[in-house]
């Protein structure tokens, strides 16, 4: 895998300017799960690939899926088409995706886990392909799941949103659980670093299940591992900004931003962005947080909600996004309408 050159200063995409703490003339945007089942062109490629993992691990197909939404909607960033569970796969845990049910992981044997990036090389090859095809004004985002969230799937073997067995394991066996989180922390550093070398301009850390932890455990299993990841990536790749997304963190969002060192902070729809902005450094770029249900619904309610978010974030570093991923039943026309609202807004 070769290192792909990044943009020069004259070509800095507007999304990266926002992540550098600048107030941009127009608001950049991308959407979580912007490449996916709501697009007919995605569904056609998914059928061609035969399985979700084949789609992820065929670089040409993964690159094409990554670029599809930009062709339709002129987003300011592409996010590589992959999955947070490629890290357990690289560690040696069995992974399948069952149609209609989602991920299924094999039994966890912590003692046998060894990180081997060669198991997921196609992810980096796809990044390099996208990088070569992206216009210079578009950014490329890599990503990984945060250690806590990935551990939830590795221990339970599937997702149910509660992960009671994982919460119990963290509470009752903190030393053993800490070994797994430590292993995941180092693996995540390597995975994100490889994505940056392959051409990612920024990376996002998805902590989708951060909100199920009480404050003490949040500090231990969410903030501390993320701080380690951010510090090491900042050392290796000082020009690459990092977005943290501790979903449903509530009043702990501001603490997460202050203590992890992320340059961007994604927020879910339950958070009032104006209140959040008052509690974080003005140099941190906020990202979010339109309710995906409103994008599904469309119409005047969608327009009003998007305009309210844009107005609330006027005159501060900001990236428009959803508070979670695009719902698969969302009409593409609604995404086009949202794009038009964002594009018409000026700071």
Domain-located, residue 1: no
pLDDT in tens, 210-268: 999 999 999 999 999 999 999 999 999 999 999 999 999 999 999 999 999 999 999 99
The Cα–Cα gap between 74 and 204 comes to 20
Residues in contact with 157: Cβ distance below 8 Å, sequence separation at least 6, in sequence order: 104, 105, 106, 107, 108
Q: Work out the mean pLDDT of the chain and round it to a whole number.
A: 95
Domain-located, residue 35: yes
Domain-located, residue 173: yes
CATH of the domain at 131: 3.20.20.210
Residue 326 near residue 336 (C-beta atoms within 8 A): no
Domain-located, residue 63: yes
Q: How many structural domains are present in the chain?
A: 1
* Catalytic site positions: 33, 37, 46, 83, 153
Domain-located, residue 2: no
Residue 288 clears pLDDT 50, i.e. is over it: yes
Residue 177: the pLDDT is 96
Residue 2 clears pLDDT 80, i.e. is over it: no
Domain-located, residue 6: no
Residue 112: the pLDDT is 95
At CB < 8 A and 24+ separation, what contacts does 130-136 make?
130/63, 130/66, 130/67, 130/78, 130/80, 130/199, 131/4, 131/198, 131/199, 131/200, 132/4, 132/199, 133/63, 133/67, 134/67, 134/70, 134/78, 136/7, 136/11, 136/13
Domain that holds residue 159: 11-344
Residue 57 clears pLDDT 80, i.e. is over it: yes
Domain-located, residue 5: no
Return the H-helix or E-strand segment holding 235.
helix 224-236
Domain-located, residue 185: yes
| Mean pLDDT computed over 176-187 | 97
- For the chain, strand residue ranges (E) read 77-79, 95-98, 102-105, 139-145, 202-207, 242-246, 264-266, 285-290, 318-322
pLDDT in tens, 128-156: 999 999 999 999 999 999 999 999 999 99
pLDDT in tens, 93-105: 999 998 888 899 9
């Amino acid at each position: 895998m070769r290192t792909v050159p990044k943009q020069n200063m004259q070509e800095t995409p507007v999304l990266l300017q926002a992540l550098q703490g600048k107030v941009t003339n127009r608001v950049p945007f991308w959407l979580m799960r912007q490449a996916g089942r709501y697009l007919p062109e995605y569904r056609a490629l998914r059928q061609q690939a035969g399985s979700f993992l084949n789609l992820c691990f065929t670089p040409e197909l993964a690159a094409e899926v990554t670029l599809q939404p930009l062709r339709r909607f002129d987003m300011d960033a592409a996010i590589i088409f992959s999955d947070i569970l490629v890290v357990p796969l690289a560690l040696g845990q069995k992974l399948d995706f069952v149609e209609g049910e989602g991920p299924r992981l094999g039994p966890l044997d912590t003692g046998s886990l060894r990180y081997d990036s060669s198991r997921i090389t196609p992810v980096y090859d796809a990044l390099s392909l996208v990088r070569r095809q992206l216009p210079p004004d578009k950014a490329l985002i890599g990503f990984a799941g945060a250690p806590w969230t990935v551990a939830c799937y590795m221990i339970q073997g599937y997702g149910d949103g509660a992960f009671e067995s994982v919460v119990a394991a963290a509470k009752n066996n903190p030393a053993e659980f800490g070994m797994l989180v430590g292993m995941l922390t180092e693996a995540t550093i390597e995975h994100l670093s490889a994505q940056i070398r392959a051409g990612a301009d920024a990376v996002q850390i998805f902590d989708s299940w951060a909100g199920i932890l009480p404050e003490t455990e949040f500090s231990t299993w969410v903030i501390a591992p993320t701080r380690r990841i951010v510090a090491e990536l900042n050392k290796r790749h000082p020009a690459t900004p990092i977005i943290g997304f501790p979903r449903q963190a509530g009043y702990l969002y501001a603490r997460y931003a202050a203590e992890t060192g992320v340059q961007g902070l994604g927020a879910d729809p339950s958070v009032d962005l104006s209140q959040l902005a008052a509690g974080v450094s003005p140099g941190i770029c906020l990202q979010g947080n339109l309710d995906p249900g409103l994008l599904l619904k469309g119409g005047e309610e969608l327009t009003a909600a998007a305009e309210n978010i844009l107005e609330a974030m006027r005159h501060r570093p900001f990236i428009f996004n959803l508070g979670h991923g695009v719902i698969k039943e969302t009409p593409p026309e609604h995404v086009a309408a949202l794009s038009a609202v964002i594009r018409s807004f000026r700071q």
